[in-house]
Structure 1
Amino acid sequence: MNRAFSSALQIDLYERPPALDIRPLPKRVGLIILATDHTTEPDFRRMVASERTGVYVARIHYTNPTTPENLRKMQPSLTAGAGLILPGETLDAICYSCTSASVVIGDAETEKAIRQAKPGVPVVTPALAAVMGLKALGARRISVLTPYTVETSRPMADYFDRHGFQIDRFTCLGLEDDREMARIPPRELADLAPQVMARQSEALFVSCTALRAALAVRAIEAAINRPVVASNQATAWQCLRLTGDDVSRPEFGQLMTLPLVGTTFES
């Protein structure tokens, strides 16, 4: 009886189409994340998403363990992943959220792959965002903490050396699965920080988008009395500044109070 009633009901087409906004939200940030990622989306919801800025996510295939070989295998997926984010529409920034992969693939190659699908869009990688963040903080001597193995940490050390940083101490935790990295409590990172921070270093870099380090930045800065740059904090900072959002967010660390310094990919 209901079906008969529905088919007999007259449905009127309104004579005038509704007025449309140019965009549902004024600013748009794209995120390309690993299929196994537990952390980046919640972090960007806290730090980037707002009534002004939308965050739009695509996941690409990734298989543990976290080795340079497996990380490099993601490169062919970057173009397709970028193309899945609001096809045919422009973005204000797009971030590939994997620190170690952006190092082994290379910033320039990452940018090239993403811009095949999103030409002209500013590309953000965690490694270069961290470099820019450390420079904005005035730090040249750093300590580094990663959750990776020694094999996967080595390219990271080489990367920061090439960008002109003196690494006073580099500590890795020896984990191979990014899902386990995501399970490290933020409080554990804050407790660990004084042990991995060299006395002469000017800042600490905590690498890996899987780590919940953004939640621990304030506690880490209090524990070591120096600024901290963490992967998701750095990419969120760069993405916000690229959208024209200059609001200070000290609850996410000293970096989140600073303007963006430079946006150019380096070798």
Structure 2
Amino acid sequence: MSAPVQANGARRIRVGQIVPSSNTTMETEIPAMLRARELILPERFTFHSSRMRMKKVTKEELEAMDRDSDRCADELSDARVDVMGYACLVAIMSMGTGYHRQSEQRLHARTVANGGPAPVVTSAGALVDGLKAMGARRVSVICPYMKPLTKLVVDYIESEEIDVHDYCALEIPDNLEVGARDPMALVDIYKQVSLQGIDALVLSACVQMPSLAAVPVVEAEAGIPVVSAAVCTTWQMLGKLGLETRVPDAGVLLSGRY
């Protein structure tokens, strides 16, 4: 399905997101990046969400939530979105190594069966692919999760042949509390992880922990590429849409080089 064209000739694109019910960040950071892009490039975006129940970031709640993602894919494909993002990194990574590929294929198949085929991006897969696109083989990572879930995230990244040199677990179990954090707190928190010999810093390996405002600040201060799960998701959505991967003030991954 081709996206509609506005009267001024700009392509209008519908962005769908499968969002945990307690997530308050992906529906702000993804639109913020794409609205900033609209100031320098012609495409125009609208945003549409379907929600899966989840309040506490525990393995049990994440597994139950993931089972609800099929319904969300059906609902968003009813709206004939042009691209679909699964907005929960840890839900995918807690399901076992490589699960993002299985999830993306299954959810895409749901859109096809519903007559509204759309590419599906998972934040987990986008983080891995974004790091690989930059040639990052050694990274440090900041997570809001409890230590056992953070270790699952670290193991998942390493299963994709990216070495995690160091990581920080902020140990916040309540998802609303994660979403209420000040993104600029990360300007101090990142100094708690070793940057020695790394190719990139994952400032937020969680699409619920706000980080967008801090990404360019930390990147300039640390002198290394800085990404977040939300930045990587935006990058991969643009790629799936065949658009230039350029967003102002969102770090080097969205500079248009990759």
Partner deviation per Cα, 1:83-122 (whole Å, 9 max, x = no partner) = 1125163x33210100101212321332244234312422
Describe the superposition over 1:116-159 as per-residue Cα deviations: whole angstroms up to 9, x where unpaired: 43124221111111111112222111101101011111211111
Residue in 2 that maps onto 1:95: 85
**Match of 1:202?**
199
Percent identity over the alignment is 28
Partner of 2:28: 42
AA aligned to 2:73 is A
Letter in 2 for 1:77: D
How far apart in 2 are the matches of 1:224 and 1:176? 29
Write the mapping of 1:70-219 to structure 2, written as runs, cut at 5 A.
Answer: 70-87=61-78, 89=80, 91-105=81-95, 106-119=99-112, 120-205=117-202, 206-219=204-217
- Cα RMSD, aligned residues only: 2.0
Work out which of the two has the higher radius of gyration on C-alpha atoms and give 1 or 2.
1
The C-alpha deviation readout for 1:152-195, integer Å capped at 9, x for no partner, is: 11211111111101111021111101111112211111111122
Q: Which residue of 2 aligns with 1:14?
A: none
> Within 2, Cα distance between the matches of 1:57 and 1:111?
17
Q: How far does residue 230 in structure 1 lie from its aligned partner after superposition? A: 0.2
Structure 1 runs (4+) greater than 3 angstroms displaced: 21-25
2:237 is aligned, of 221, 236, 239, to: 239
Q: Which structure 1 segments of 5+ residues have no match?
A: 1-20, 261-267
TM-score (norm 1): 0.82
Aligned length: 238
| Structure 1 contact 28–56 (Cα < 8 Å) conserved | yes
Tell me which residue corresponds to 1:31.
Answer: 17
CA distance in 1 between counterparts of 2:60 and 2:245 reads 39
* Structure 2 unaligned blocks of 5 or more: none
Amino acid aligned to 2:171: G
Is 1:62–2:54 an aligned residue pair? yes
> Is this contact kept in 2: 1:194–1:223, CA < 8 A?
no
